[in-house]
Structure 1
């Protein structure tokens, strides 16, 4: 009778161990993917920080407003920058939501 109990518990234990191994490999793959996504996000943030819109050569907003030859007004440039920041924030939130799952 004790042999039978050992057989009954061996099969579920081996299944449990196999599932744990599969989960561990998925976790490692998710961590690798997370690192890649973090790197891409950091790259996008750096691009955004260094991104210069047309006419944005370090001129103050007051000087830019007075420039008639500037094709993109200062207000539009600010809107574009804000939209890019919002997009990056959404990407970062999405990554964080996927990380907790």
Structure 2
């Protein structure tokens, strides 16, 4: 069964140093835990999906090493994009032949 994943990609340095993003992720995790809600987003260093042919152009545009926030929630990724500059967003279906593990 294919799942749609939404992503935000930027340089790893940018995502690690962006204080707003760190606080947002911490707050969102805390909020999910309080509600007993399952976490539906992940911060991934050097995401493997960028190494697939379909993402070659995005990888070229992203300073390396790259990092991604991957989520099942499109609104969350859109909300993050509005708060962060220098990011690329999109979506993909997985698991697939080219992306067997979307969270690596």
- Shorter chain as denominator, the TM-score bin is under 0.3
The structure where helix makes up a greater share of residues is 1
Instruction: Return the TM-score normalized by structure 1.
Output: 0.25
The structure number with the bigger radius of gyration is 1
Greater relative CO (CA pairs within 8 A, separation 6+): 2
Instruction: Return the TM-score normalized by structure 2.
Output: 0.25
